Amino acid sequence: MQGETGAALRDRVAQHIQAIYHDSPLGASPEGLAAALLDIMRLPPEQAPPLQHVNHWNQCDAVLITYGDSLLGRDEKPLATLKRFLDENTDRLLKGVHILPFYPWSSDDGFAVLDYSSVNEALGDWSDIEAIAADYDLMADLVINHCSSRSLWFENFVKGQDPGRGYFFTADPGEDLSAVVRPRTSPLLREVETSEGTRHVWCTFSHDQVDLDFRNPEVLKAFVSIVRQYLDAGVRIFRLDAVAFLWKVPGTSCLNLEETHEVVRLLRTLVEHARPDAMLITETNIPNRENLSYFGNANEAHCVYNFSLPPLLLNTLVTGDCSYLKQWVMAMPPAQNGTAYFNFIASHDGIGLRPAEGLLSDEELDRLIQAMQRFGGHVSYRALENGESRPYEINIALFDALQGTVAGPDEWGLERFVCAHAVMLGLEGIPGIYLHSLLGTRNDYQRVEHTGHARSINRHQWDLDLLQEALADGDSSHSQVFRRLKALLAIRRRQAAFHPNATQFTLHLGTAVLGFWRQSMDRRQSVFCISNISREPQALNLMDINLIDSHQWMDLIGGEVYGSRDQQLELRPYQTLWITNLPDHC
């Protein structure tokens, strides 16, 4: 690999293209399309490849997830307000920021893109994006499966003009499409009158989100051009939105097809040659085994969203039983160097239930859904092959989701919420924290009523002045959440044992205490992460976690020093300990 030349790179890209288009007419040779893609990416004719299996992250990495207009200030565009808030309030504890689609859009809060090459004027402009990218690792969405039905591309598709003619996937409504897996209950095909007659356009998500047809190489070239533009604007991390649905073959599930995986491999090859520390993250809200397949052999996504974590951790904390979560943690394979899990427990979307399939029983899922509905949450559904529907996600703000247990609300909501984040921050992987979790934002029923969409419950827009007042009030839940989560982030970033690829082993401490052990890559530091996930005090003997007598151990969170390995502790409800032999070892 180290001796690869420009021609060899072209050959490698051509191999990707051959694998993608093996059954589709290209209109050009794979080598010709490869040369065109390299020209779009402005890759030098002779360029050494990047080093393989390199971790472009460490324990300092944590990513804030936010919409561009979640914070609204006076007399400035929201992107400028966002940067000012980050600069003045987060103490540089968040190395990265994922700004959800900041492009002009027509629906789905940005995920029906009108124009990939522009910044939504209501948010700011490219100079605002570049300013954020200059100080933070910027993650941007590559909304690659579909775009808006009101985009220029789709208007041109209807007219039979370029660019757009042949850009969208159509199907015969007479074909058997019953095997297609979808996250929605709306009809899959949308009838459209075009210059070439009636066409039935494929819509995986909504009729305003029309699916692109990557069988047409012009679509691939258009997206490679978009990638190049984002790199030029400072984007380092590309979130491949809904990528699992990308390639369609009627008669199949149209999910996770091999051509889709090959497109991801191609994009990785192009991106990592353009910027060696650039990263691809696949957003694949699907069952766990299928999700993990997007690592490939460390040649696809650098990171995959750990979609099973949110429902499993939520279930753990509202039932007081960590059995299912512990089984999953034990079964998760370590991410090899050059790859990492992207951990999150809340996002702009709901808490997905598909990633819990096969991990939680139907009875457990029903009990969880009922508890969330009692706490003010909504449930979204997806269509099954037989025409029935099945719960797809729970829509609720995480702070409200953790206000109680299956028995009902209680006084432990704040502690339970902080415990959830302490667990996530300790686990192998890179943590992503949703802005509204960092701020302890509650269910926004008014926004749901205004938009008519259940997901809006967790998409509140803060007036910055009101937010600053809430954060300045030391007794407010917002202030307490913000302060305590920042404290955990500050501790985490100083511990080498919390490197995203550091060793992890699960401890067996019963059903009410979740424990796992992290060890730094140089094997000098250990951290035992132990959480009482119940609302009853739990006894813990330090001998149970096999501490070494020759070391002095202390809790990084509470500061307590332990003088004897047979010391008996009592964990308060939802208390987390990070017990280490070598504090602040980086």
CA quadruple 459, 464, 466, 468: dihedral positive or negative? positive
The answer to whether 239 is a known ligand-binding residue is: yes
Q: Give the per-residue pLDDT at 3.
A: 42
- Structural contact between residues 72 and 78, judged by C-beta atoms closer than 8 angstroms: yes
Fold topology of 306-493: TIM Barrel (3.20.20)
**End-to-end Cα spacing for the chain:** 31
Helices in 442-531 by DSSP H: which ranges? 445-451, 464-472, 477-492
Amino acid 1: pLDDT: 41
> What is this structure's pTM?
0.96
As a whole number of angstroms, the distance between CA 116 and CA 236 comes to 17
- Tell whether residue 460 is among the known ligand binding residues: no
pLDDT of residue 47: 74
DSSP string, 170-190: B--TTS--TT---S--S-SEE
Determine whether the annotation assigns residue 182 to a binding site.
Answer: no
Domain boundaries, the chain: 306-493, 503-580
Name which of 182, 142, 402 is nearest 281 in CA terms.
Answer: 142
Q: Determine whether the annotation assigns residue 207 to a binding site.
A: no
Is residue 319 a contact partner of residue 530, using CB atoms and an 8 Å limit? Answer: no
Write down the pLDDT at residue 2: 41
Q: Encoding tokens for residue 56?
A: 């472009």
Closest C-alpha among 202, 214, 207 to residue 149: 207
φ, ψ for residue 155, nearest 5 deg: -60, -40
pLDDT value, residue 582: 82
Does the annotation place 349 within a ligand binding site? yes
Burial profile 371-387: b = 16 or more Cβ within 10 angstroms, e = fewer: bbeebbbbbbebbeeee
Q: What is the pLDDT of residue 388?
A: 78
Mean pLDDT in order along the chain per 10 residues (586 residues): 61 94 80 95 82 94 98 97 98 98 97 98 98 98 98 98 97 94 92 98 97 97 98 98 97 97 98 96 92 95 96 98 97 96 96 92 95 96 79 96 97 98 98 98 97 95 98 97 98 97 97 98 96 97 82 92 86 98 71
Instruction: Classify residue 62 by burial, with Cβ atoms within 10 Å: 0-12, 13-18, 19+.
Output: buried
Is 277 part of the annotated catalytic residue set? Answer: no
Q: Does the domain at residues 503-580 carry the CATH identifier 2.60.40.1180?
A: yes
61 annotated to a ligand binding site:
no
The catalytic residue among 241, 400, 544, 555 is 241
Task: Confirm whether residue 416 is marked as ligand binding.
Answer: no
Is 108 annotated to bind a ligand? Reply is yes
447 burial (CB, 10 Å; 0-12 / 13-18 / 19+) is middle
